[in-house]
Amino acid sequence: MSASQKLLVIKALHTLIWIFFVIVIFYVLYSGVWNEINLWTWIGIGLVIGEGLVLLLFKMFCPLTVLARKYSDSDKDNFDIFLPEWLARHNKLIFTILYLIGVCLILLRVFFQ
């Protein structure tokens, strides 16, 4: 497999994992907004915390980004994922804010209702 083919596989896998976590984050937010807190909500919170720990371990880079770096010397923010460059650049900020809003709403509902 060539370097460009390996990068394509990494980008596709990275994009699929990104989509999964976006769905999880929106589910956490949905749970908080609509007070639909259940086992899946807590599993989602745990998954995102796990993802955050992995990012901390890799100095705020996704392990797939580190792997993709072997196959590209691009300086674009989206060299390793099929996202618009602006979204790849601001991805962590946008989805961390949405996640924290969801978690705060959930905690408010759990402890003050």
Each of the 113 residues of the chain gets a pLDDT tens digit; together they read 999 999 999 999 999 999 999 999 999 999 999 999 999 999 999 999 999 999 999 999 999 999 999 999 999 999 999 999 999 999 999 999 999 999 999 999 999 98
Question: What is the distance between the alpha carbons of residues 49 and 51, in angstroms, rounded to a whole number?
Answer: 5
CA proximity to 61, closest of 86, 80, 82, 83:
80
pTM of the full predicted structure?
Answer: 0.94
CA proximity to 24, closest of 6, 47, 57, 5:
47
pLDDT of residue 105: 98
Q: What angle do CA 67, 51, 11 make, to 5 degrees?
A: 35
pLDDT of residue 8: 97
pLDDT of residue 113: 82
Q: Is 92 left (phi over 0), alpha (psi -120 to 50) or beta?
A: alpha
The structure tokens listed for 107 are 């905690």
pLDDT of residue 12: 98
pLDDT of residue 37: 97
Which residues neighbour 30 within 8 Å (Cβ) at sequence distance 6 or greater? 36, 102
